Amino acid sequence: MTQPPPLPGVVRSYQGWWRRHWRWALPLAVLVPGAAAAAVVWLVLVQWSQWIRGSEPYLEAMRRAHCSVELVAELGEPIQDGFLPMGEVASSGDGTASSQLVVQLHGPQGKGRLFLRADRAQGQWDYPILYVVTEASETIDLTALDDAEAARQCALRECRQGGDCPLTASL
């Protein structure tokens, strides 16, 4: 059996896949790689943020921020950090390292920025710059004369245990 001849006046031509589907395929061909690139950048930022948050200078700076009576009075409790710390942590092969960070802080009563510079020599971290600037432009110094001693103390906890903390009435 054979096919009947085509109707007169109708030209039958084969259209390729691209000619039939370009209206949805072209935007998809642009959006998928763009979304993949954005996802890669997002994952890199999240991993970098987690790595910075696990560094010893960051942990010590946040510990001192949580233990500062003045900072807790200004920002309230709990003090939380922002999503993405800005700065760098660099180390060299001879055991020295340096860290410069700016961390957004916020609490129920206000916001602030923590500024940190730390240097490591012979396995010991030194924090020559460690302070918080609040929304009201008040500077709260978190440095200590002896960083090794400061790592073992928490002024807020000692204040509350002694019962002479001005914050215990408000908290």
Q: Which residues contact 68 (CB under 8 A, 6 or more apart)?
A: 132, 140, 142, 155, 156
Is residue 79 in a domain? Answer: yes
State the Cα–Cα distance between residues 42 and 157, nearest whole angstrom. 38
Q: What percent of the chain has pLDDT over 70?
A: 88
CATH of the domain at 99: 3.10.450.320
Is residue 101 in a domain? Answer: yes
**One domain, residues 30 and 89:** no
Would you state the structure tokens that stand for residue 164, as one six-digit string?
């002479």
**One domain, residues 90 and 22:** no
- Most distant pair of Cα atoms in the chain: their distance: 105
Quote the number of domains for the chain: 2
Asked if 123 and 148 count as a contact pair (C-beta separation under 8 A), the reply is: no
Question: What pLDDT does residue 150 have?
Answer: 65
Residue 25 has pLDDT above 70, yes or no: yes
Question: Could you list the residue range(s) of the whole structural domain that residue 156 is in?
Answer: 56-162
**One domain, residues 38 and 120:** no
**One domain, residues 114 and 77:** yes
User: What average pLDDT score do residues 101-121 get?
Assistant: 94
Question: What pLDDT does residue 103 have?
Answer: 95
State the Cα–Cα distance between residues 112 and 102, nearest whole angstrom. 10
Is residue 70 in a domain? Answer: yes
The dihedral formed by the CA atoms of 18, 20, 23 and 28, expressed in degrees to the nearest 10: -50
**Mean per-residue pLDDT over the chain, rounded:** 86
State the Cα–Cα distance between residues 107 and 75, nearest whole angstrom. 5
Is residue 77 in a domain? Answer: yes
Residue 119 has pLDDT above 50, yes or no: yes
Question: What pLDDT does residue 168 have?
Answer: 45
